[in-house]
Structure 1
């Protein structure tokens, strides 16, 4: 019997046997299992299985952290044993009724934004690279000046960096239609209608170079470049409208009438009702976010850096995706990224302190790779696998995150993108901010490591 096969069988036994598994899937690092009866799970037994880096309930799923690569192999072994596989989306659907109404709403919000994040990550990296290549210091190395950069090259970089945000409503509406069970292509078309060049450009209206169209003398109509909430709710309502129409329209006319009515009704509502209402709400949310981030004396960084990883534990951190997108779209920079990166780095450092201090071979083998994972921007193995088990390292990590976030706010650090942090996140700070980015993260790590080493962990408790 192979090692992974043995681990798979131990997992089945620890969670109450095959009959207790409702559905099973995996993501990049975790097995995601929906069970029939939580009481049948032996959590201690699960956490003592080889290669398990932590396990916890979140979003109605029992999630067992194995790490990248390993989780795929364990999942394959479970399927070969006869545990039916499912897609991550299927598992999410099975877990949909779990948690509070707020948690379910945030989970759904996250499901819409997660698929478009890779595009925004790439856009942010393009922005960082453009910032690097157009710096005076870098150009001087090649005997060049900013005026020597070819106009066509700058145009090419603008295509790379501006496209995703110029057509952001199309991405959001597409994903919303997909999540809520509609036809994604209708979402794309509706999103593109929101930014149609025939409409006054939202940015030009904002800076006074264009005027909004006024309907009925009081409803302003503009394009929705960079808006998120209007596209989200158009997708939500549009998908439900499409499904309702398909149930009522005869099959012979469905192909013609359903898309025609869906597009006609939803773009009318979108431009004249949903758009103005939710764009106003969006402006209020953005204003509130900016008010917090603009708090003086580094207070914003202290609060967010201290509390961010605590929010991650609750599973409602997906709401931050919306906030970061808004920051990037309206400010062109993302100060939130610099602050939460310190929180992740600090948790990794606290986990590293445990790994270096312990003499327990199993804990060391768990903590060291988990800390490295946090330094690559995935903090869950460190948090759930090590820090939360001993409590104090997690608290020391929160303190370190607060210190790093405090400094990041004082230095006005802001990334050019989102969703890449710590070591990979350096690519978002190539526009002359890199030394300070490294400094604030090292400060967060040093505080968390030192406090954990001195006060946060005694090598007496065994796993």
Structure 2
């Protein structure tokens, strides 16, 4: 048999491998194959043979075809991250035999898209190097269970029907597995085993018992490496078979399929990274960073939206003198609306750690350190003993003068801390004995990560913010209109990185000394712009989950809280954030050009009364209305026409990061 067929696992549009938005699959690292942008979620078997693997998260199914092809069907991209609530129902298990075209499960396409993952279904022949001479994919619209590709084999094979996978002794790799186990010190010296794309990775009790030179000389072994607390035996393309033979002899309790999948993905991503051009690396790194930021914020977006609406209601109550800002009622409602923002570092620490592979509880504690009342007190009212690089020295640490910044409402320092923890934690677990880890790993992490943020990251952000504030003031004094254009276009970018605090002191100083602030009026326009963009999505999208989030995010933005719109929708879909920023630039330009002033802190549409001059109505109110109308029209129109389509929901790029801002696929 020299030519065989692969059926399509789902209905949709069949695309070539290199069009898949994933470097591991698109570059053929997992073997030759094709992708399908599905239109229906029913999944069928692409080959006749045995089910060799069903991932715990149900996002991937492996087949050993009767014609000896080894086929992987991967449902969506990055869907492994949806393990808590998998959108798949798979009705087969490892060891089952199927015929090509048999139904094997379903995929909830809308749920995958709503989670911001690509829905692309990928079929890859994982033993292509050994079996495939050529694969000709049949591009275009296809039904499930039809011929998706014709494969030319590079050697003759005999069709096999219902041949069970060898168990225990009898596999041609058993002898090699036995030799490897013996030379690493025997089964008694093995704690666990995983594998990646090329290596069998042992966790040994005592690495000194392993005989490196003998293992290197074994037929079927390429090399031996030691890294990350693992004893790695480099096998090459036959790694799956050797690993299976080893686990068959040691017992299933020694294997970890989930860890093996993560190791394979990490190694594949490292290879993909090495093949990228410098510009591709920059784009991939930035995309990954945005993915981590939005991924860290998604779990709290609903709370932010609800809190934003509550803060808007409170602003109305105080504006119309229904509730005094000194009354206990105000204090209680304000706590309800403000707590999620005030303690945001705790929540972001937890979610960012989960995203990046650090301990969420430890990072939550680090967030608690940064929002601890006495730390907040040092930042806001500590005794200033000097200045350095524009920063007030308001504390010392073991005699070292430091600037303690305010971290309430901030997210970027915690994401940086979570990334650092993801690097520090594995090293600590390698060097600290098991019996001491429970106490000393969290102790060292909390001390080091908190210290790095307070002593280094916070002051760096403050220094940069100070320089930024000086630049903004210089531009504003030169031209309010140009300043409005720049601030309006980039203010929400500053919010992402916590640099907007550079502008807040200017606003506070203006209002406390003159009673009004023109810069705060420009900032208000950026809030309106984010609301206008997400309003366009709320009206345009037919994806229920997006619409459900877009409407409260719109209300929240118009109430002066842009985080739900920005992190939950606009930044997530890329172009939308750009169109919203263009709207903000237009609104800021008009606000500066018309010399709009603002006499209060509450911005966006909810803050309309802040634009009324207490000494008598002037053009500021009308300028605010003109600028806000123009902002909404521009951001809404650009977003509706160019900034978003429902296709973006399934094509959105999430940062593929668990252990590294630029690592992890699938």
Q: Structure 1 length normalisation: TM-score?
A: 0.55
1:36 has 2:214 as partner: no
Contact 2:346/2:364, CA 8 A, preserved across alignment = yes
2:317 matched to which residue of 1?
Answer: 133
1:442 matched to which residue of 2?
Answer: 629
2:336 matched to which residue of 1?
Answer: 160
Given candidates 202, 214, 217, the residue that maps to 2:396 is 214
Give 1:111 shift.
Answer: 1.9
Instruction: State how 1:28-427 maps to structure 2 within 5 Å.
Output: 36-37=25-26, 80=105, 99-101=280-282, 103-105=284-286, 107-109=288-290, 111-112=292-293, 114-115=297-298, 116-135=300-319, 138-139=320-321, 151-199=327-375, 200-205=377-382, 212-215=394-397, 217-220=399-402, 222=404, 224-226=406-408, 228-285=411-468, 288=471, 296-303=479-486, 320-323=495-498, 326=501, 335-336=522-523, 338-339=525-526, 341-342=528-529, 345=532, 403-409=586-592, 410=594, 411=596, 416=602, 426=605
Unaligned runs of 5+ in 2: 1-8, 41-75, 78-86, 91-102, 120-261, 386-391, 509-519, 555-564, 612-620, 639-666
> Compared with structure 1, are the counterparts of its residues 179 and 335 closer, same or farther at alpha carbon in structure 2 (3 Å cutoff)?
farther
SS in structure 1 opposite 2:373? coil
Q: In the aligned structure 1, how far is the partner of 2:332 from the partner of 2:458?
A: 31
Q: In the aligned structure 2, how far is the partner of 1:286 from the partner of 1:254?
A: 44
Given candidates 594, 598, 607, the residue that maps to 1:429 is 607
Contact 1:347/1:382, CA 8 A, preserved across alignment = no
Q: In the aligned structure 1, how far is the partner of 2:582 from the partner of 2:395?
A: 51
Contact 2:311/2:337, CA 8 A, preserved across alignment = yes
Give 1:104 shift.
Answer: 1.5
> Compared with structure 1, are the counterparts of its residues 9 and 384 closer, same or farther at alpha carbon in structure 2 (3 Å cutoff)?
farther
Structure with more of its chain in helix, by fraction: 1
Q: In the aligned structure 2, how far is the partner of 1:379 from the partner of 1:220?
A: 36
Q: In the aligned structure 2, how far is the partner of 1:126 from the partner of 1:400?
A: 25
Moved more, 403-412 or 433-442: 433-442
> Compared with structure 1, are the counterparts of its residues 229 and 157 closer, same or farther at alpha carbon in structure 2 (3 Å cutoff)?
same
Q: Greater relative contact order: 1 or 2 (C-alpha under 8 angstroms, separation 6 or more)?
A: 1
Contact 1:403/1:443, CA 8 A, preserved across alignment = yes
Q: In the aligned structure 2, how far is the partner of 1:299 from the partner of 1:269?
A: 37
Q: In the aligned structure 1, how far is the partner of 2:399 from the partner of 2:571?
A: 53
Contact 2:601/2:610, CA 8 A, preserved across alignment = no
> Compared with structure 1, are the counterparts of its residues 432 and 274 closer, same or farther at alpha carbon in structure 2 (3 Å cutoff)?
closer
Contact 1:399/1:448, CA 8 A, preserved across alignment = yes
Q: In the aligned structure 2, how far is the partner of 1:217 from the partner of 1:437?
A: 50
Measured against aligned partners, the alpha-carbon deviations of 1:104-126 in whole angstroms (never above 9, x if no partner) come to 24632552353355544444433
> Compared with structure 1, are the counterparts of its residues 90 and 275 closer, same or farther at alpha carbon in structure 2 (3 Å cutoff)?
same
2:15 matched to which residue of 1?
Answer: 15
> Compared with structure 1, are the counterparts of its residues 383 and 173 closer, same or farther at alpha carbon in structure 2 (3 Å cutoff)?
closer
Q: In the aligned structure 1, how far is the partner of 2:425 from the partner of 2:637?
A: 57
Q: Structure 2 length normalisation: TM-score?
A: 0.41
Give 1:91 shift.
Answer: 6.8
SS in structure 2 opposite 1:15? strand
Q: In the aligned structure 2, how far is the partner of 1:37 from the partner of 1:430?
A: 51
Give 1:201 shift.
Answer: 2.5
Give 1:219 shift.
Answer: 1.5
Structure number with greater Rg is 2
Give 1:297 shift.
Answer: 3.3
Contact 1:404/1:444, CA 8 A, preserved across alignment = yes
Q: In the aligned structure 2, how far is the partner of 1:298 from the partner of 1:159?
A: 37
> Compared with structure 1, are the counterparts of its residues 398 and 204 closer, same or farther at alpha carbon in structure 2 (3 Å cutoff)?
closer
Q: Name the Cα RMSD after superposition.
A: 6.0
Q: In the aligned structure 2, how far is the partner of 1:247 from the partner of 1:114?
A: 31
Contact 1:342/1:440, CA 8 A, preserved across alignment = no
Give 1:164 shift.
Answer: 3.7
Count of matched residue positions in the alignment of Structure 1 and Structure 2 = 362
Measured against aligned partners, the alpha-carbon deviations of 1:372-395 in whole angstroms (never above 9, x if no partner) come to x8995667999979xx9xxxxx9x
Q: In the aligned structure 2, how far is the partner of 1:235 from the partner of 1:326?
A: 22
Give 1:134 shift.
Answer: 0.9
Give 1:176 shift.
Answer: 3.6
Contact 1:342/1:444, CA 8 A, preserved across alignment = yes
Structure with more of its chain in strand, by fraction: 2
Contact 2:291/2:572, CA 8 A, preserved across alignment = no
Give 1:246 shift.
Answer: 1.6
Q: In the aligned structure 2, how far is the partner of 1:152 from the partner of 1:229?
A: 33
Contact 1:196/1:223, CA 8 A, preserved across alignment = no
2:207 matched to which residue of 1?
Answer: none
Q: In the aligned structure 1, how far is the partner of 2:627 from the partner of 2:380?
A: 34
